[in-house]
Amino acid sequence: MDTASAQPPMTLTLYGYWRSSASYRVRLALAIKGLAYEAVPVHLMADGGQQHHPDYRRLNPQGLVPTLQTGEHMLTQSLAIIEYLEERFPEPALLPADPIDRAHARAIAHAIACDIAPLANLRVLNHLKGQHDWAQVQTEEWIRHWLSEGLAAVEQLLAQSSHRYCSGDQPGLADCCLLPQLYNAERFGVDLRRLARISAIGERLRALPALSSAHPEAQEDALPSV
């Protein structure tokens, strides 16, 4: 896989959580582009949630991960961060050259990052448990429902494509969003047998050595057997 050989002129620091889908997306984009960065863990459950601490809120007022520090600037929201990386370090490209193909790639990415992932966000699940007394089994059923419904729609978006990956023959923006959602789907026991296209793309992505460093279990803050 072709990756960028030049190092960025500034230090990149990624604040994230090992199992956060949004953090995983950015780690994948950094890996595809071959960009070195310093990882700073922000544990979403330890110490009452480190994302709520005043020091972190000064970096990211939403109290969410990830946050990317680029020199003096703090960037938030995973898709905005990935688009920044694409504009600042354009090779290898995460988006196709053709405008229609670019729009299609963004549609897949947004379908996952904006429509599927937020419904299984930790703060949503905590609200269901804390304010509505949902048991763990109920929240897991909630997650499986929305993951199943959302990924089925993505499968249809991908149905007409003959590319190896979501929007081309090299991993790109949409793949950075898909792989973390597949990780969640497998974690929560979503039936993927009807999602042949998604499953095939996922297998190809997982086979790429360059992306292995982005995997949740490869992070220094990963918890064993969780």
Q: Can you give the CATH number for the domain in which 194 is found?
A: 1.20.1050.10
User: Do 129 and 180 fall within a single domain?
Assistant: yes
109 and 197 assigned to the same domain? yes
Residues 206 and 108 in one domain: yes
Domain-embedded: residue 175: yes
Cα angle, residue 15 at apex, residues 187 and 39 outer, rounded to 5°: 85
Q: Could you tell me if residue 5 is inside a domain? A: no
pLDDT tens column, 83-130: 999 999 999 999 999 999 999 999 999 999 999 999 888 888 888 888
Examine the domain organization and report whether 118 and 135 are in the same domain: yes
Q: Do 83 and 149 lie in a common domain?
A: no
**Domain edge (last residue) among 59, 92, 125:** 92
197 located within any domain:
yes
pTM of the predicted structure, to 2 decimals: 0.92
Decide if 177 is inside a domain.
yes
Same domain, 86 and 181: no
Q: Among 92, 126, 150, which residue terminates a domain? A: 92
Same domain flag for 129 and 203: yes
Q: Are residues 88 and 103 in the same domain?
A: no
Domain identity same for 65 and 125: no
pLDDT value of position 132: 84
Local confidence band at 223 (pLDDT 50, 70, 90 cut-offs): confident
Is 104 a member of any domain?
Answer: yes
Look at residue 215 and tell me whether its pLDDT is greater than 90. yes
Structural domain of 82: 12-92
In a domain, 44, yes or no: yes
What mean pLDDT is reported for the chain?
93
Task: Give the least confident one: 15-19, 78-82, 87-91, 157-161.
Answer: 157-161
pLDDT at 9: 62
What's the structural domain count of the chain? 2
